[in-house]
C-alpha cells in the first residue's frame, strides 16, 4: 500500500549559521491515519506542516504525497497543486462570505450548480447544512471550526493538515469539537496530520503520536505505547508527568530512593527510571517501606494530585483516585503498582 505521505531526510534552516529547524526528518503517514506532531514551541512541528503544504521549501530531502513527489532538490510543486487541505489555528474564514460561500471558495475548478452541490456535500459531512446562509460571526467557535474543516474537505484532498486547530476554544468546547472533528475525518476516510503542544489532545485524537524535539523525532508510536513506554526522559516528562528516579539496576529490579523497584525489562548498572504518578499508591507509613511527607495537594474532582518529599529530599508526584484527603505535612507510605521503565537521559 502506498503511503499517504512520506518525508525523507528533510532539513530546514532559516539562515546561514543558524541551527537547523528540522534535521534529517523522516516521517510517514498511512492512508486514513490520524497522526499528531507533539512538542514544545520551536521544535519544528509547524515548520514541518508548512513544508508539506508548500508554504516553505526544504533545504534538503524529499516530500512525497501518495507516490507523487512534491519537493526535492530538483522539484517543487506549488501549494495550490499539491492536493493538501489546510485548517489554520484562527480558522481563516472570510467574514464577508456566508458559510456556504466560504466552503465554495476553494472549489474554483468547479462551476455553477456542481460547485454549490460539492460545497453542500462537505457541509453535510460536518452537520452544518442548516447554517449555510449564516455569516461566520453568527456561529460558535466550534461551528466555525467545522466550517473550516468542511472547506478543507470539499476539494477531496489527499491529506488534511491541522495547525493547532482547537487552541482558541474553551476547555469543554475543545474536547467536544476535537471528538467531532476526529469522527468527521474518520467518516471521510481522510489522512490527517495535527500539530499540537497539548499532550491530552495528541493522545485523544491520534492513531499515532510523533514527539518532536529540536527538529528531530524523539519517539513515534501509538498513544498508549508512547505514554506507557517512553524511551527517553524528555518523552516521559513531556507526554504527561513522570517521576524520574536514578537507580542501580541488577536484572529485573533496581535500587532507588523508593526502595527496590521491579523493572519492565532487564537492565544493569546506573539507570534512570520513569514512574508515572498514577502508578504509585499511597498507604499508611510502614517502617519497612519508603515513606514521604505530603508537601502539597490539589483536588481535581475525579482524583487528587500530591507532591511528596522523600527522606533524601527527592520530590515525587502522585495521583490518587477517590476523595480521601491526605493533609499537607502528614506522612504516607509509598508503593509502586506495576513496573518502572528505564529511559535514556536526554
Question: Is residue 204 domain-shared with residue 297, that is, in the same domain?
Answer: no
**Which pLDDT score, from 0 to 100, does residue 171 have?**
81
CB 304 within 8 A of CB 320: yes
Q: Say if residues 180 and 144 touch (Cβ distance below 8 Å).
A: no
Please tell me whether residue 100 adopts helix, strand or coil conformation. Answer: helix
Quickly state the pLDDT bin for 1 (edges 50, 70, 90). Answer: confident
- Which residues contact residue 200 at a Cβ distance below 8 angstroms, ignoring those fewer than 6 apart? none
Q: Look up cell 506549488; give the residue.
A: 78
Per-residue pLDDT tens digits for 284-297: 988 888 899 999 99
Tell me: do 102 and 211 sit in the same domain. yes
Residue with cell string 533524601: 312
Residue 318's H or E segment, with its range, is strand 315-321
CA distance 325 to 334: 16
- Provide the pLDDT for residue 261: 96
Question: What are the backbone angles phi and psi of residue 55, rounded to the nearest 5°?
Answer: -80, -15
Model confidence at 167, in pLDDT bands (50, 70, 90)? confident
Nine-digit cell string for 110: 468547479
Distance CA 219, CA 235 (A): 7
- CATH number, domain containing residue 309: 2.40.50.140
Band of residue 329 on the pLDDT scale cut at 50, 70, 90: very high
The Cα–Cα gap between 116 and 98 comes to 12
- Residue 272 shares a structural domain with residue 217: no
Answer yes or no: do 46 and 153 share one domain.
yes
pLDDT of residue 237: 92
Q: Which residue has the cell 518532536?
A: 212
Q: What is the per-residue pLDDT across 210-246, written as a single tens digit (0 to 9) for each?
A: 999 999 999 999 999 999 999 999 999 999 889 999 9
Whether residues 303 and 174 fall in one domain = no
Shared-domain flag, residues 86 and 212: yes
Q: Are residues 178 and 100 in the same domain?
A: yes
pLDDT-derived band of residue 331, with 50, 70 and 90 as boundaries? very high
Tell me which of 137-141, 164-168, 260-264 is least confident: 164-168
How far apart, in whole angstroms, are the C-alpha atoms of residue 318 and residue 300? 13
The one-character DSSP state at 158 is: S
Same domain, 83 and 163: yes
Residue 301 has pLDDT above 80, yes or no: yes
| pLDDT in the model for residue 309 | 96
Whether the predicted pLDDT of 324 surpasses 70 = yes
CATH number for the domain spanning 185: value is 3.40.50.300
Beta bridge partners of 273: 245, 342
Lowest mean pLDDT among 17-21, 50-54, 109-113, 242-246: 109-113
pLDDT at 345: 62
The answer on 178 and 263 residing in a single domain is no
What average pLDDT does this structure show over 332-340? 94
pLDDT band at 323 (very low <50, low <70, confident <90, very high): low
Same domain, residue pair 255 and 196: no
Q: Which residue has the higher pLDDT, 109 or 28?
A: 28
DSSP 344: B
SS3 301: coil
238 within 8 A of 199, measured Cβ to Cβ? yes
Overall domain count for the chain: 2
Question: Which of 163, 198, 229 delimits the end of a domain?
Answer: 229
Tell me the backbone φ, ψ of residue 203, rounded to 5 degrees: -65, -40
CA distance 184 to 165: 14
What the block records as the C-alpha cell of 280 is 504509585
The string of DSSP letters for 236-264 reads HHHSS--EEEEEEEEEEEEEETTEEEEEE
193 and 118 Cβ atoms separated by less than 8 Å: no
Beginning with the edge strand found earlier in the chain, give each strand of the sheet holding 280-283 in spatial order. 280-283, 331-336, 291-299, 303-310, 315-321
Find out whether 331 and 293 touch, Cβ atoms under 8 Å.
yes
The pLDDT mean for the chain works out to 92
Interacting residues of 54 by C-beta distance below 8 A, sequence separation 6+: 70, 71, 76, 77, 78, 79, 82, 84
**End position of a domain, from candidates 197, 229, 261:** 229
The verdict on 253 and 273 lying in the same domain is yes
CB 193 within 8 Å of CB 45: no
Q: What is the pTM of this model?
A: 0.89
Mean pLDDT of the region 13-42: 94
Task: Give the pLDDT of residue 45.
Answer: 95
Query: What's the pLDDT tens digit per position in 47-99?
Result: 999 999 999 999 999 999 999 999 999 999 999 899 999 998 888 899 999 99
Domain boundary among 209, 229, 249: 229
Q: Are residues 142 and 246 in the same domain?
A: no
Residue-wise DSSP of 65-79? ETTEEEEETTEE--G
pLDDT of residue 85: 92
DSSP letters along 6-48, please?
Answer: EEEEEEE-SSTTSPPSEEEEEEEE-TT-EEEEE--TTSSHHHH
pLDDT at 110: 78
Structural domain of 285: 235-343
Contact 57, 76 (CB under 8 A): yes
In the chain the first and final C-alpha atoms are separated, in Å, by 36
% pLDDT > 70, the chain: 99
Amino acid at each position: 500500500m502506498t503511503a499517504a505521505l512520506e518525508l525523507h531526510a528533510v532539513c530546514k534552516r532559516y539562515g546561514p549559521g543558524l541551527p537547523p529547524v528540522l534535521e534529517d526528518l523522516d516521517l510517514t503517514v498511512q492512508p486514513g491515519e490520524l497522526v499528531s506532531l507533539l512538542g514544545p514551541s520551536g521544535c519544528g512541528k509547524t515548520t514541518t506542516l508548512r513544508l508539506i503544504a508548500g508554504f516553505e521549501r526544504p533545504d534538503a530531502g524529499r516530500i512525497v504525497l501518495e507516490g507523487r513527489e512534491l519537493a526535492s532538490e530538483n522539484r517543487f510543486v506549488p501549494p495550490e497543486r499539491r492536493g493538501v487541505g489546510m485548517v489554520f489555528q484562527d480558522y481563516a474564514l472570510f467574514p464577508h462570505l456566508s458559510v456556504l460561500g466560504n466552503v465554495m471558495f476553494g472549489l474554483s475548478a468547479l462551476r455553477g450548480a456542481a460547485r454549490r452541490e460539492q460545497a453542500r456535500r462537505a457541509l453535510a459531512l460536518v452537520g452544518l447544512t442548516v447554517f449555510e446562509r449564516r455569516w461566520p460571526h453568527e456561529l460558535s467557535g466550534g461551528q466555525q471550526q467545522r466550517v473550516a474543516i468542511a472547506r478543507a474537505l470539499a476539494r477531496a484532498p489527499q491529506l488534511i493538515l491541522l495547525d493547532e486547530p482547537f487552541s482558541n476554544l474553551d476547555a469543554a468546547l475543545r474536547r467536544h469539537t476535537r471528538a467531532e472533528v476526529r469522527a468527521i475525518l474518520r467518516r471521510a476516510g481522510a489522512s490527517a496530520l495535527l500539530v499540537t503542544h497539548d499532550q491530552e489532545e495528541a493522545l485523544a485524537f491520534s492513531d499515532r503520536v510523533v514527539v518532536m524535539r529540536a527538529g528531530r523525532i524523539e519517539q513515534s508510536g501509538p498513544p498508549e505505547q508512547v505514554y506507557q513506554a517512553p524511551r527517553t526522559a524528555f518523552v516521559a516528562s513531556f507526554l504527561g508527568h513522570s517521576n524520574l528516579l536514578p537507580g542501580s539496576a541488577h536484572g529485573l529490579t533496581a535500587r532507588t530512593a523508593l526502595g527496590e523497584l521491579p523493572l519492565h525489562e532487564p537492565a544493569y548498572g546506573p539507570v534512570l527510571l520513569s514512574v508515572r504518578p498514577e502508578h504509585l499508591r499511597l498507604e499508611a507509613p510502614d517502617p519497612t517501606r519508603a515513606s514521604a511527607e505530603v508537601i502539597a495537594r490539589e483536588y481535581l474532582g475525579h482524583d487528587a494530585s500530591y507532591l511528596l518529599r522523600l527522606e533524601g529530599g527527592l520530590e515525587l508526584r502522585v495521583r490518587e483516585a477517590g476523595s480521601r484527603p491526605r493533609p499537607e505535612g502528614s506522612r504516607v507510605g509509598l508503593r509502586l503498582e506495576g513496573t518502572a521503565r528505564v529511559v535514556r537521559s536526554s
